[in-house]
């Protein structure tokens, strides 16, 4: 990707919902996307919807720290850099503890395992 022609964005949860919408918008604005998701079929659909666009699909579970490091390395190897990260992948707060929706967890409660 040529310097100044857009940013390289690593986007987690890229294959569905808000991630797919953000991917489309970023591509439309001239950015390159490393699309991370654990849904292989969703990634295939995402790439198919954006043929000829700079999308690098990477299947992984963001709960796997080693897989995240590998995704960063793949992105840099493919695009030459990473300019932005959108941490869109996620799970509901209730997976942290049952009352998390009404009593929001503090940052200290969010571990890599969670």
Domain limits of the chain?
8-90+104-109
Q: Is the pLDDT of residue 86 over 90?
A: yes
Average pLDDT of the residues in 6-27: 96
Entry pTM? 0.80
CATH number, domain 8-90+104-109: 3.40.50.720
E strand or H helix at 42 = helix 40-49
The CA–CA distances, whole Å, from 72 to 19, 63, 83, 105 equal 18, 14, 11, 28
Contact 24, 99 (CB under 8 A): no
Percent of the chain whose predicted confidence (pLDDT) is above 90: 69
The torsion of the CA quartet 11, 33, 19, 23, rounded to 10 degrees, works out to 150
Q: Do the bridges between strand 84-86 and strand 8-12 make them parallel or antiparallel, or are there none, so unpaired?
A: parallel
- On the 0-12 / 13-18 / 19+ scale of CB atoms within 10 A, 11 is buried
pLDDT tier for residue 4 given thresholds of 50, 70 and 90 = low
């Amino acid at each position: 990707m040529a310097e100044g022609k857009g940013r390289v964005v690593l986007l987690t949860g890229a294959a569905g919902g808000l991630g797919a919408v953000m991917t489309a918008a970023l591509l439309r604005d001239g950015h390159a996307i490393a699309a991370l998701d654990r849904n292989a079929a969703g990634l295939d659909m995402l790439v198919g919807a954006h043929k000829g666009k700079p999308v690098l699909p990477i299947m992984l579970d963001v709960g796997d720290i080693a897989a995240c490091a590998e995704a960063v390395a793949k992105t840099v190897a493919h695009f030459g850099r990473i300019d932005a990260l959108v941490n869109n992948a996620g799970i509901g707060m209730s997976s942290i503890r049952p009352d998390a929706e009404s009593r929001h967890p503090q940052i200290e409660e969010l571990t890599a395992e969670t």
